[in-house]
Amino acid sequence: MRRILLAGLSVLALSLLPVAGHAQGTVKIGLIMPYSGQFADAATQMDDGIKLYLKQHGDKLGGMNVEIIRKDTGGINPPVAKRLAQELVTRDNVDIIAGFVLTPNALAAADVSSEAKKFMVVMNAATAIITTKSPYMVRTSLTVPQLTETLGTWAEKRGLKKVYTMVTDYGPGIDAEGAFQKGFKDAGGDIVGSVRMAVQNPDFTAYVQRAKDLDPQGIFVMIPGGAQPGAFGKALAGVGVDPKKTQVMGQLEIADEHALASMGDIAEGIITAAHYDYNHKSKMNADFVKAYNADFKRNPDFFSIGGYDGMHAIDAALKKSGGKTDGESLISAAKGMSWESPRGPISIDPETRDIIQTVYIDKVEKVGGRLVNVQIDAIPNVKDPIKAAMKK
Amino acid sequence: MALSETSIDPQLYLVEQTRWRPAEIVFWLATLLPYLLFPNYLSLASQIAIAALFALSLDLILGYAGIVSLGHAAFFGIGAYTAGLLSKYGWGEPLSGLVVAAFAAGVVGYATSFVICRFRHLALIMLTLGFGLLLAELANSLGWLTGGMDGLQGIHTWKLLGTFPFDLYGRAAYAYALAVLFVLFLFTRRLIHSPFGLSLRGIRENFVRMPAIGAPSRAHIRTIYTIAACIAGVAGALLAQTTETVSLDSLGFERSAEVVVILVLGGAGRLYGGLVGATIYLIARDQFSGIVPQYWYFWIGILLVAVVIFLPNGILGGLAQFTARWSRK
Amino acid sequence: MAWPGVARSARLLGINSSGASSMLPPVFGVLFDGLAYGMLLFLLSVGQSVTLGMMNFINLAHCSFAMLGGYLTVTLMSRYGWSFFATLPCAFVVAAVVSVGFERTLFRRLYRASELDQVLLTIGIVFISVAVAAYVFGTDQQPLQLPHYLRSSLTFMGIRFAVYRLVLVGLALLITLALVIGLDYTRFGARVRAAVDNERMARGLGIDVDRTFAITFALGSGLAGLGGALAIEIVGLDPSFAFTYLIYVLIVVSVGGLGSISGSFVAAIVLGISDVAGKYYIPQLGAFLIYLVMISLLMWRPLGLLGKR
């Protein structure tokens, strides 16, 4: 057994030799995402954002050729995500690991980034603590508290005093509940009740009825994107909660394009905190949406922008590091970087390596017969409040 | 096969069954090949070994005792969380972690076996499913303990035997998983070819009649269910220790369903069924999803359908039929 | 939980805080919502209680046929401008016809095979259907654009009734009635039962067993397609549909009992009401309730509420 082990090790050592220098001027990026399964649409949109950035930049990042290797986790599966990250590093010799729609997978892969000293770009996964798990990681998406605590403060200042919160009983839901309540209460508001809802939940009627019984001025809701926002909208309509009278608000998933389409008119008046919406008014975003539609026949969403800006971060970091692809060079290049994204001005906090961005407050309105998110306020330069609090 | 028809003495039959066949020795030697041929695939190999062990534990109840379970991941998950929690709170020694995990899974297995042994057919399947789903929801709502949806953080496994670290290449991980698989396989093999194992098959074929010939069906089912739970717990603990991650997926419905697919694909009621099934399923999945990350389900689906059509009773079952037909000619 | 104790006990007693005396207490609202949710579960599952319940064939691809019905309805409505109700028979017929194709080529080989082979084959088909749906329709949610009146609600004695949910309840009642009459009191129903109970004997009596099975299978899958088309308004539609709702279907059929349509109907009502009432009165138990109810019902009656075998 021992001899075989030794023989195996020597073969392994030999096979590792060519690692030292792969083709000059090529950067290898491994993408780990849930391409199949329940979260496949998020991965599709993110991948399309990545493709668009590469296409617009002549398939080069920082002047280097790019090789992309895609790996599927098939949903929430940290052991597989970690294995894929290991294989990308040890077998495919990638320089950078990126993607990550889901928090558990990002947390698992972060160990690999930290151990192998590889630059890692989180393009969606939104739990606050993720970036603390590897010193070589940046995030180009959002943190849940960044949006929801901001929304809590904003809602109180806009005159809501009594709010009910309903969140799905899972990581992001619990984070959002805490952050919203903190922002809202610190500003002086009163939480009149709260509920945590089952993760597998095809029908929201019972929960919405409960909220309505207390007759709050507003309802804060945080549920996973996908099928649930539509079901939530139907429950609002069925129970008779009018978002224009009882202010319904939440994070951007509840009013994304597909959610609005399946909710119908009941969605009018819903307020969301968002870091991106395809209706954002700027020349850059208009061009982005147009190019995205030309290639993929649909509008970009926040997964797309996470992927797009993630590629920009890699591009800019490579330029700044002069083509050095080791984790140390890339992360020091990425720290403090700032640029103009289709979503507005964003930057990477040099201390936390997390994103600093404008939080938009959007309201669902009917424009030209279609329901869209209309920006009604913007709070610039928001940092992740959790890590800011940790520092104190 | 031919011998079993002529040897009427059950003692002789069992002794004959326990003799090692050349194919078996070749199989186990082949499990060392990854070190020589695919040193870059050792992490995958270790996860295959773990899935194989998990499928082996399911085979004990599904293949041999006829208890179809759609909630077997419960024990896998209990093992994984036990090992993970031990490590998180300061005891990262892997081997003792396995023992504790096996014990924890075994206790829960023993407790539920009193319900399990009273039911058959669809009710049994749905009860195992229900227990599994309840446990998954419980783990989700005990976020302070399990880390909830984000998974348990802060697991660190100590060096194996105090010497071999669990590295990025999966060298120690595969050796560890394979060694545990082999030891537990030997145990299972012995168990199946014992009079107890034989009476389990009797229960599978006729639950009511076995007590009449002196084999207490319910007591036997409780025993085997507890043993299977222990082994599943070890498999879960192995995954937690080698990947240093535990999350809700370790006890979710998908893992329960996947292990059933793996076992049935390989061939239920055959010692090597789970092992072959895990190898083929996970390698196929890895390869297909490398080629078409979005649509690998399609090819896995085709694989499953093809196996049912061309190799009924799983790959091993189908092959056995072929060879039997062939040798008769 | 920051519940004012008074409001809570008042609600438990069914006294509406606004206090109008002519109104029904909210417990009736909860009952209706529970009934409607139960009927949604029933419509999704009734096809399975035909294939699994009547024919003893484990068809895990049931929700794939439901998904087919759903995609058909969405496509016909959004691309060809059909009205919602016109698409429903279409969803039934297409799912039924497609299933006969599968039945003739794949499933019929397995009627007498082991249950495990049935499981493996039909899971394989689920995998294929998920990939095909993602390839053809994309991975995104498919919104259903229902006419306005279907999304409105009526108020009667202080309780709101969502129109669409009333439609679900009505259709579920009709289907149950039709199936119970069709399978229990007609020659065809007798043939199906005979063919399942003793195939050789049935053939000996001159029953065309193959055809009977094919028709029954088509009926089950057609109902799945119809159920899918009706459910997507509430539960949404994307390629993972074929997996997501399988558990609910199995729960309804097993609690109802094999071989009994009315069993599934009763089970769906019990499960729906207990789920909605549980989430309303004790939301902390919300995620556990449906499983707890299933486990206790099955431990009480292992054959299901109205099961015959």
Instruction: Centre a 10 Å sphere on the Cβ of residue B40 and count the other Cβ atoms it contains.
Output: 18
In a domain, B131, yes or no: yes
- Chain C positions touching B304 (Cβ under 8 A) are 120-121, 123-124, 127
Residue type, A233: G
Where would I find the beta strands (DSSP E) of chain A? 26-33, 60-61, 64-72, 96-99, 119-122, 137-139, 162-168, 190-197, 218-222, 247-251, 271-274, 338-341, 344-348, 355-367, 370-382
- End-to-end Cα, chain C, rounded Å: 45
- Chain B positions touching C129 (Cβ under 8 A) are 301
Report yes or no: C35 at the A interface, CB cutoff 8 Å: no
Residue B1, domain extent: 1-30
CA–CA dist A291, A341 (Å, integer): 14
- Tell me which residues of chain C, numbers 138 to 157, contact chain A at a CB-CB cutoff of 8 Å: 138-141, 143-146, 148, 151-153, 155
In a domain, C258, yes or no: no
Whether B3 and B150 share a structural domain: no
Report yes or no: A193 at the C interface, CB cutoff 8 Å: yes
Whether the Cβ atoms of residue C185 and residue A300 lie closer than 8 Å to each other:
no
Whether B82 and B52 share a structural domain: yes
**Which of A72, A94, A100, A130 is the mutation pick for testing B, counting most B CBs within 10 A?**
A72
Report yes or no: A389 at the C interface, CB cutoff 8 Å: no
Instruction: Name all chains with 3 or more CB-CB pairs below 8 Å to chain B.
Output: A, C
Residue type, B69: S
C228 band by pLDDT with thresholds 50, 70 and 90: very high
Interstrand relation of A119-122 and A60-61 (parallel, antiparallel or unpaired): unpaired
- Tell me which residues of chain C, numbers 112 to 151, contact chain B at a CB-CB cutoff of 8 Å: 113-117, 119-121, 123-132, 134-135, 139
One pLDDT digit (tens) per residue for chain A, 392 residues: 444 444 544 444 444 444 434 445 899 999 999 999 889 999 999 999 999 999 999 998 988 999 999 999 988 899 999 999 999 999 999 999 999 999 999 999 999 999 999 999 999 998 988 999 999 999 999 999 999 999 999 999 988 999 999 999 988 899 999 999 999 999 999 999 999 998 888 889 899 999 998 999 999 999 988 888 988 998 898 888 999 899 999 999 999 888 898 888 899 999 999 999 999 999 999 999 999 999 999 999 999 999 999 999 999 999 998 888 899 999 999 999 999 999 999 999 999 999 999 999 999 999 988 999 999 999 999 999 888 787 66
Q: Is C263 helix (H, G, I), strand (E, B) or coil?
A: helix
Q: Is A342 helix (H, G, I), strand (E, B) or coil?
A: coil
Domains of chain A: 22-142+283-353 (3.40.50.2300), 145-274+359-391 (3.40.50.2300)
- Chain A positions touching C131 (Cβ under 8 A) are 36
Higher pLDDT, A373 or C285: A373
Whether the Cβ atoms of residue B80 and residue B152 lie closer than 8 Å to each other:
no
Residue C36, domain extent: 24-240
In a domain, C66, yes or no: yes
Whether B250 and B167 share a structural domain: yes
Per-residue pLDDT tens digits for A28-63:
999 999 999 889 999 999 999 999 999 999 998 988
Q: Which residue, of B231, B251, B266, is where some domain finishes?
A: B266
CA–CA dist C179, C264 (Å, integer): 12
pLDDT for the residue numbered C183: 85
In a domain, B47, yes or no: yes
pLDDT for the residue numbered C2: 38
Report yes or no: B312 at the C interface, CB cutoff 8 Å: yes
Number of domains forming the structure of chain C: 1
Whether the Cβ atoms of residue B305 and residue C128 lie closer than 8 Å to each other:
yes
Per-residue pLDDT tens digits for A127-173:
988 999 999 999 999 999 999 999 999 999 988 999 999 999 988 89
Report yes or no: C292 at the B interface, CB cutoff 8 Å: yes
Residues B154-182 have a mean pLDDT of 87
- Chain A positions touching B169 (Cβ under 8 A) are 12, 86, 90
Query: Residue B286: pLDDT above 60?
Result: yes
C223 band by pLDDT with thresholds 50, 70 and 90: very high
Q: Which of C272, C224, C241, C240 is nearest to C95 (CA)?
A: C224
Residue of B nearest to C129 (CA): B298
Whether B112 and B62 share a structural domain: yes
Whether B58 and B86 share a structural domain: yes
Cross-chain CB nearest to C33 (options A205, A226, A258): A205
- Chain A positions touching C278 (Cβ under 8 A) are 206
In a domain, B73, yes or no: yes
Least trusted range by pLDDT, from A43-52, A373-382, C106-115, C219-228 = C106-115
Cross-chain CB nearest to B137 (options C123, C134, C288): C288
CA–CA dist C20, C156 (Å, integer): 13
In a domain, B107, yes or no: yes
Report yes or no: A111 at the B interface, CB cutoff 8 Å: yes
In a domain, B308, yes or no: no
CA–CA dist B1, A386 (Å, integer): 67
Residue of B nearest to C128 (CA): B298
In a domain, C169, yes or no: yes
Q: CB within 8 A of A151, min separation 6: which ones?
A: A180, A183, A220, A249, A250, A251, A271, A272, A273, A359, A361
Instruction: Name all chains with 3 or more CB-CB pairs below 8 Å to chain C.
Output: A, B
Report yes or no: A195 at the C interface, CB cutoff 8 Å: yes
- Chain A positions touching B246 (Cβ under 8 A) are 78
Whether B45 and B22 share a structural domain: no
Report yes or no: A10 at the B interface, CB cutoff 8 Å: no
Residue contact B298–C303, C-beta within 8 A: no
- Tell me which residues of chain C, numbers 218 to 237, contact chain A at a CB-CB cutoff of 8 Å: 233-237
Report yes or no: C42 at the A interface, CB cutoff 8 Å: no
CA distance C108 to chain B (A): 11
Whether B3 and B110 share a structural domain: no
Residue of A nearest to B35 (CA): A8
CA distance A63 to chain C (A): 33
Whether B74 and B121 share a structural domain: yes
Gyration radius of chain B over CA positions: 20
Q: Which of C163, C243, C160 is nearest to A264 (CA)?
A: C163
Whether B197 and B137 share a structural domain: yes
Whether B60 and B206 share a structural domain: yes
Q: Is A107 helix (H, G, I), strand (E, B) or coil?
A: helix
Q: Which residue, of B218, B242, B266, is where some domain finishes?
A: B266
Cross-chain CB nearest to C295 (options B122, B130, B296): B130
Interstrand relation of A355-367 and A119-122 (parallel, antiparallel or unpaired): unpaired
- Tell me which residues of chain C, numbers 99 to 138, contact chain A at a CB-CB cutoff of 8 Å: 130-131, 134, 138
Residue of C nearest to A301 (CA): C140
Longest dimension (CA), chain C: 71
Instruction: Centre a 10 Å sphere on the Cβ of residue A378 and count the other Cβ atoms it contains.
Output: 13
Report yes or no: C160 at the A interface, CB cutoff 8 Å: yes
Report yes or no: A295 at the C interface, CB cutoff 8 Å: no
Longest dimension (CA), chain A: 76
In a domain, B318, yes or no: no
Cross-chain CB nearest to C124 (options B68, B127, B301): B301
C258 band by pLDDT with thresholds 50, 70 and 90: confident
C140 band by pLDDT with thresholds 50, 70 and 90: confident
pLDDT for the residue numbered A392: 62
- Tell me which residues of chain A, numbers 31 to 60, contact chain B at a CB-CB cutoff of 8 Å: 33, 35-36, 40, 43-44
In a domain, B242, yes or no: yes
CA distance A68 to chain B (A): 12
Query: Residue B255: pLDDT above 70?
Result: yes
pLDDT for the residue numbered B37: 87
Residues B273-288 have a mean pLDDT of 94
Edge to edge, the sheet with strand A64-72 lists A60-61, A64-72, A26-33, A96-99, A119-122, A137-139
Whether B75 and B204 share a structural domain: yes
Type and span of the H or E element at C160: strand C159-162
Cross-chain CB nearest to A36 (options B245, B290, B294): B294
Whether B246 and B157 share a structural domain: yes
Residue of C nearest to B298 (CA): C128
Q: How many helices (H) and strands (E) does chain C have?
A: 13, 2
Cross-chain CB nearest to A192 (options C2, C235, C248): C2
- Spell out the SS3 assignment of chain B: CHHHHHCCCHHHHHHHHHCCCHHHHHHHHHCCHHHHHCHHHHHHHHHHHHHHHHHHHHHHHHHHCCCCCCCCHHHHHHHHHHHHHHHHCCCCCHHHHHHHHHHHHHHHHHHHHHHHCCCCHHHHHHHHHHHHHHHHHHHHHCHHHHCHHHCECCCCCCCECCCECCCCCCHHHHHHHHHHHHHHHHHHHHHHCCHHHHHHHHHHHCCCCHHHHCCCHHHHHHHHHHHHHHHHHHHHHHHHHHHCCECHHHHCHHHHHHHHHHHHHHCCCCCCHHHHHHHHHHHHHHHHHHHCCCCHHHHHHHHHHHHHHHCCCHHHHHHHHHHHHHHHC
Number of domains forming the structure of chain B: 2
In a domain, B292, yes or no: no
Residue showing tokens 């890339």:
A330
- Chain B positions touching C255 (Cβ under 8 A) are 126
- Chain C positions touching A193 (Cβ under 8 A) are 1-3
Query: Residue B4: pLDDT above 70?
Result: no
Residue contact B297–C115, C-beta within 8 A: no
In a domain, C38, yes or no: yes
Interstrand relation of C153-156 and A355-367 (parallel, antiparallel or unpaired): unpaired
